[in-house]
Amino acid sequence: MIHIKDLHKSYKMGKNSLHVLKGINFNVEAGELVAIMGSSGSGKSTLLNILGMLDVADEGSYQLDGVPIVNLNETKAAQYRNKFLGFIFQSFNLINYKSALENVALPLYYQGVGRKERAEKALMYLEQVGLKEWATHLPSELSGGQKQRVAIARAMAAEPKVLLADEPTGALDSKTSYEVMDLIQKINDQGNTILVVTHEPDIAEMCKRVVVLKDGIILEDKKVNQVRAESYVQ
Ligand code: ADP
Ligand code: MG
Protein backbone atom coordinates (compact mmCIF):
# COMPACT_ATOMS: atom_id res chain seq x y z
CA MET A 1 0.00 0.00 0.00
CA ILE A 2 2.81 2.40 1.00
CA HIS A 3 6.31 2.09 -0.43
CA ILE A 4 8.93 4.54 0.69
CA LYS A 5 12.58 4.46 -0.38
CA ASP A 6 15.51 6.54 0.83
CA LEU A 7 13.40 9.45 1.94
CA HIS A 8 15.22 12.59 3.02
CA LYS A 9 13.87 15.84 4.38
CA SER A 10 15.62 18.95 5.63
CA TYR A 11 14.22 22.24 6.86
CA LYS A 12 16.04 25.40 5.90
CA MET A 13 16.62 27.69 8.85
CA GLY A 14 18.35 30.82 7.57
CA LYS A 15 21.83 29.74 6.60
CA ASN A 16 21.51 26.44 8.39
CA SER A 17 19.50 23.43 7.50
CA LEU A 18 18.07 20.81 9.82
CA HIS A 19 18.28 17.31 8.38
CA VAL A 20 15.20 15.64 9.91
CA LEU A 21 14.72 12.47 7.83
CA LYS A 22 17.99 10.84 6.75
CA GLY A 23 17.02 7.95 4.54
CA ILE A 24 13.77 6.31 5.54
CA ASN A 25 12.84 2.96 3.99
CA PHE A 26 9.40 1.80 4.89
CA ASN A 27 6.64 -0.35 3.44
CA VAL A 28 3.11 -0.81 4.70
CA GLU A 29 0.80 -3.52 3.42
CA ALA A 30 -2.97 -3.18 3.23
CA GLY A 31 -4.66 -3.90 6.54
CA GLU A 32 -1.73 -3.02 8.79
CA LEU A 33 -2.02 -0.98 11.99
CA VAL A 34 1.36 0.70 12.47
CA ALA A 35 2.56 2.86 15.35
CA ILE A 36 5.25 5.41 14.55
CA MET A 37 7.16 6.24 17.72
CA GLY A 38 10.06 8.44 18.65
CA SER A 39 10.84 11.28 21.02
CA SER A 40 9.57 14.79 20.43
CA GLY A 41 11.33 16.31 17.43
CA SER A 42 12.34 12.96 15.95
CA GLY A 43 10.47 13.64 12.72
CA LYS A 44 7.25 11.66 13.23
CA SER A 45 4.97 14.44 12.03
CA THR A 46 7.36 15.30 9.20
CA LEU A 47 7.13 11.72 7.96
CA LEU A 48 3.37 11.58 8.38
CA ASN A 49 2.95 14.92 6.57
CA ILE A 50 4.98 13.61 3.64
CA LEU A 51 2.89 10.43 3.58
CA GLY A 52 -0.18 12.65 3.72
CA MET A 53 1.03 14.84 0.85
CA LEU A 54 0.89 17.87 3.11
CA ASP A 55 4.63 18.24 2.61
CA VAL A 56 7.18 16.92 0.11
CA ALA A 57 10.45 15.08 0.61
CA ASP A 58 13.74 16.40 -0.75
CA GLU A 59 14.88 13.00 -1.96
CA GLY A 60 13.56 9.49 -2.27
CA SER A 61 10.47 7.89 -3.69
CA TYR A 62 6.97 7.38 -2.40
CA GLN A 63 4.30 5.14 -3.90
CA LEU A 64 0.79 4.97 -2.54
CA ASP A 65 -1.42 2.12 -3.74
CA GLY A 66 0.78 1.77 -6.82
CA VAL A 67 0.65 5.48 -7.65
CA PRO A 68 3.98 7.36 -7.62
CA ILE A 69 3.59 10.48 -5.51
CA VAL A 70 5.93 12.87 -7.24
CA ASN A 71 5.89 16.47 -8.46
CA LEU A 72 2.27 17.02 -7.54
CA ASN A 73 0.93 20.54 -7.82
CA GLU A 74 -1.42 21.79 -5.09
CA THR A 75 -4.56 20.81 -7.00
CA LYS A 76 -3.38 17.31 -7.76
CA ALA A 77 -2.12 16.82 -4.19
CA ALA A 78 -5.50 17.91 -2.83
CA GLN A 79 -7.24 15.53 -5.23
CA TYR A 80 -5.05 12.61 -4.20
CA ARG A 81 -5.42 13.45 -0.51
CA ASN A 82 -9.17 13.37 -0.82
CA LYS A 83 -9.14 10.12 -2.75
CA PHE A 84 -6.48 8.22 -0.81
CA LEU A 85 -6.21 9.56 2.71
CA GLY A 86 -8.09 10.24 5.89
CA PHE A 87 -6.52 12.42 8.59
CA ILE A 88 -6.94 12.36 12.35
CA PHE A 89 -5.15 15.04 14.40
CA GLN A 90 -4.35 15.54 18.06
CA SER A 91 -6.41 18.74 18.11
CA PHE A 92 -9.36 17.16 16.20
CA ASN A 93 -9.45 20.03 13.63
CA LEU A 94 -13.22 20.10 13.45
CA ILE A 95 -14.96 23.15 12.05
CA ASN A 96 -16.46 24.92 15.05
CA TYR A 97 -19.54 26.42 13.43
CA LYS A 98 -20.58 23.19 11.73
CA SER A 99 -22.50 20.36 13.37
CA ALA A 100 -21.00 16.91 13.89
CA LEU A 101 -22.95 15.71 10.84
CA GLU A 102 -21.77 18.60 8.66
CA ASN A 103 -18.17 18.01 9.72
CA VAL A 104 -18.37 14.35 8.74
CA ALA A 105 -20.12 15.22 5.46
CA LEU A 106 -17.46 17.73 4.39
CA PRO A 107 -15.04 15.34 2.60
CA LEU A 108 -18.05 13.94 0.74
CA TYR A 109 -18.88 17.44 -0.45
CA TYR A 110 -15.35 17.73 -1.85
CA GLN A 111 -15.85 14.39 -3.58
CA GLY A 112 -18.92 15.78 -5.31
CA VAL A 113 -21.44 13.60 -3.46
CA GLY A 114 -24.97 15.08 -3.52
CA ARG A 115 -26.54 16.66 -0.43
CA LYS A 116 -28.95 13.86 0.45
CA GLU A 117 -26.41 11.07 0.06
CA ARG A 118 -23.89 13.12 1.99
CA ALA A 119 -26.21 13.43 4.96
CA GLU A 120 -27.11 9.72 4.85
CA LYS A 121 -23.51 8.59 4.64
CA ALA A 122 -22.35 11.02 7.32
CA LEU A 123 -25.05 9.76 9.67
CA MET A 124 -24.02 6.18 8.99
CA TYR A 125 -20.42 6.98 9.92
CA LEU A 126 -21.51 8.88 13.02
CA GLU A 127 -23.51 5.81 13.99
CA GLN A 128 -20.39 3.64 13.53
CA VAL A 129 -18.52 5.78 16.06
CA GLY A 130 -21.50 5.73 18.44
CA LEU A 131 -22.54 9.37 17.96
CA LYS A 132 -25.72 9.21 15.90
CA GLU A 133 -27.62 11.04 18.62
CA TRP A 134 -25.08 13.86 18.54
CA ALA A 135 -25.41 14.59 14.82
CA THR A 136 -26.85 18.09 15.21
CA HIS A 137 -24.49 19.18 17.99
CA LEU A 138 -21.63 21.60 17.52
CA PRO A 139 -18.07 20.56 18.45
CA SER A 140 -18.22 22.91 21.47
CA GLU A 141 -21.02 20.74 22.87
CA LEU A 142 -18.94 17.56 22.68
CA SER A 143 -16.30 16.10 24.99
CA GLY A 144 -12.73 15.61 23.75
CA GLY A 145 -13.33 11.91 23.14
CA GLN A 146 -16.53 12.64 21.25
CA LYS A 147 -14.78 15.25 19.11
CA GLN A 148 -12.09 12.75 18.19
CA ARG A 149 -14.76 10.20 17.29
CA VAL A 150 -16.40 12.76 15.00
CA ALA A 151 -12.97 13.39 13.45
CA ILE A 152 -12.55 9.64 12.94
CA ALA A 153 -15.99 9.42 11.30
CA ARG A 154 -14.99 12.31 9.04
CA ALA A 155 -11.74 10.57 8.11
CA MET A 156 -13.67 7.37 7.32
CA ALA A 157 -16.43 9.08 5.33
CA ALA A 158 -14.25 9.57 2.27
CA GLU A 159 -13.44 5.83 2.32
CA PRO A 160 -9.71 6.43 2.15
CA LYS A 161 -7.08 3.79 1.37
CA VAL A 162 -5.08 4.82 4.44
CA LEU A 163 -5.90 6.57 7.70
CA LEU A 164 -3.13 8.78 9.09
CA ALA A 165 -3.42 9.72 12.76
CA ASP A 166 -0.95 12.18 14.34
CA GLU A 167 -1.04 11.75 18.13
CA PRO A 168 -4.79 11.00 18.06
CA THR A 169 -4.85 10.46 21.83
CA GLY A 170 -2.39 13.25 22.67
CA ALA A 171 -5.06 15.58 24.03
CA LEU A 172 -7.10 12.91 25.85
CA ASP A 173 -6.97 11.29 29.29
CA SER A 174 -6.07 7.58 29.51
CA LYS A 175 -9.61 6.21 29.61
CA THR A 176 -10.72 8.32 26.65
CA SER A 177 -7.49 7.46 24.81
CA TYR A 178 -8.30 3.77 25.13
CA GLU A 179 -11.84 4.37 23.86
CA VAL A 180 -10.39 6.08 20.81
CA MET A 181 -7.88 3.25 20.33
CA ASP A 182 -10.70 0.71 20.68
CA LEU A 183 -12.43 2.44 17.79
CA ILE A 184 -9.22 2.60 15.74
CA GLN A 185 -8.65 -1.13 16.35
CA LYS A 186 -12.20 -1.97 15.26
CA ILE A 187 -11.80 0.10 12.10
CA ASN A 188 -8.55 -1.79 11.44
CA ASP A 189 -10.34 -5.11 12.10
CA GLN A 190 -12.52 -4.24 9.08
CA GLY A 191 -9.39 -4.27 6.93
CA ASN A 192 -8.50 -0.58 6.92
CA THR A 193 -4.84 0.44 6.84
CA ILE A 194 -3.93 2.81 9.67
CA LEU A 195 -0.77 4.64 10.77
CA VAL A 196 -0.74 6.10 14.26
CA VAL A 197 1.96 8.52 15.40
CA THR A 198 2.35 8.40 19.17
CA HIS A 199 4.99 8.80 21.84
CA GLU A 200 2.98 6.77 24.36
CA PRO A 201 4.17 3.14 24.66
CA ASP A 202 0.75 1.87 25.83
CA ILE A 203 -0.87 3.31 22.69
CA ALA A 204 1.85 1.81 20.46
CA GLU A 205 1.21 -1.63 22.00
CA MET A 206 -2.37 -1.40 20.78
CA CYS A 207 -1.07 -1.40 17.20
CA LYS A 208 0.27 -4.47 15.39
CA ARG A 209 3.66 -3.10 14.42
CA VAL A 210 5.90 -0.47 15.96
CA VAL A 211 8.35 1.65 14.00
CA VAL A 212 10.78 3.75 16.06
CA LEU A 213 12.36 6.88 14.59
CA LYS A 214 15.57 8.22 16.03
CA ASP A 215 18.06 10.74 14.70
CA GLY A 216 16.40 10.72 11.29
CA ILE A 217 16.41 6.99 10.66
CA ILE A 218 14.28 3.99 11.56
CA LEU A 219 15.93 2.54 14.64
CA GLU A 220 13.54 -0.35 15.08
CA ASP A 221 10.67 -1.91 13.14
CA LYS A 222 8.95 -4.83 14.83
CA LYS A 223 5.68 -6.72 14.99
CA VAL A 224 3.95 -6.63 18.37
CA ASN A 225 1.31 -8.73 20.06
CA GLN A 226 -1.57 -6.32 19.95
CA VAL A 227 -3.06 -5.30 23.28
CA ARG A 228 -6.79 -4.87 22.83
CA ALA A 229 -8.06 -1.52 24.08
CA GLU A 230 -11.50 -2.99 24.73
CA SER A 231 -10.26 -4.66 27.91
CA TYR A 232 -9.58 -1.19 29.37
CA VAL A 233 -12.79 0.57 28.43
CA GLN A 234 -15.50 -1.29 30.34
P1 ADP B 1 7.84 15.06 15.96
O2 ADP B 1 6.50 15.03 15.32
O3 ADP B 1 8.51 13.73 16.04
O4 ADP B 1 7.81 15.73 17.30
P5 ADP B 1 8.51 16.91 13.82
O6 ADP B 1 8.46 16.10 12.58
O7 ADP B 1 7.36 17.80 14.09
O8 ADP B 1 8.82 15.95 15.05
O9 ADP B 1 9.82 17.82 13.80
C10 ADP B 1 11.12 17.30 13.58
C11 ADP B 1 12.12 18.45 13.65
O12 ADP B 1 11.92 19.34 12.56
C13 ADP B 1 11.98 19.30 14.90
O14 ADP B 1 13.27 19.68 15.32
C15 ADP B 1 11.19 20.49 14.44
O16 ADP B 1 11.49 21.63 15.20
C17 ADP B 1 11.62 20.65 13.00
N18 ADP B 1 10.57 21.19 12.13
C19 ADP B 1 9.34 20.64 11.92
N20 ADP B 1 8.63 21.37 11.04
C21 ADP B 1 9.42 22.40 10.67
C22 ADP B 1 9.27 23.50 9.78
N23 ADP B 1 8.14 23.66 9.07
N24 ADP B 1 10.29 24.36 9.66
C25 ADP B 1 11.43 24.20 10.36
N26 ADP B 1 11.65 23.19 11.21
C27 ADP B 1 10.67 22.28 11.37
MG1 MG C 1 4.62 15.61 15.93
Give 59-72 pLDDT, tens digit per residue.
999 999 999 998 88
pLDDT bracket for residue 158 (50, 70, 90): confident
What is the reported pLDDT for 110?
Answer: 87
Share above pLDDT 90 across residues of the chain, in percent, rounded to a whole number: 87
Domain of residue 26, residue span:
2-233
Q: Residue 43: name the closest of 27, 58, 61 by CA.
A: 58
CATH code of residue 34:
3.40.50.300
Report strand pairing: 59-64 vs 67-68.
Answer: antiparallel
| Atom 11 of ligand 1, nearest CA residue | 41
On the question of pLDDT at 234 being above 80, the answer is no
Give 193-202 pLDDT, tens digit per residue.
999 999 999 9
Best mutation site among 17, 22, 39, 45 for ligand 1 pocket (most ligand atoms within 8 Å of CB): 45
How far does the centroid of ligand 1 lie from the alpha carbon of residue 150, in Å? 27
pLDDT bracket for residue 14 (50, 70, 90): confident
Q: Is the pTM of this model over 0.75?
A: yes
Atom of ligand 1 nearest to the CA of 12: 25
SS3 per-residue string spanning the chain? CEEEEEEEEEEEECCEEEEEEEEEEEEECCCCEEEEECCCCCCHHHHHHHHCCCCCCCEEEEEECCEECCCCCHHHHHHHHHHHEEEEECCCCCCCCCCHHHHHHHHHHHCCCCHHHHHHHHHHHHHHCCCHHHCCCCHHHCCHHHHHHHHHHHHHHCCCCEEEEECCCCCCCHHHHHHHHHHHHHHHHCCCEEEEECCCHHHHCCCCEEEEEECCEEEEEEECCCCCHHHHCC
Residues near ion ligand 2 (Cβ under 5 Å):
44-45
CA atoms within 13 A on the CB side of 159: 6
Kindly list the protein residues whose Cβ atom lies closer than 6 A to any atom of ligand 1. Answer: 11, 18, 20, 38, 40-46
Structural domain total, the chain:
1
How far does the centroid of ligand 2 lie from the alpha carbon of residue 105, in Å? 27
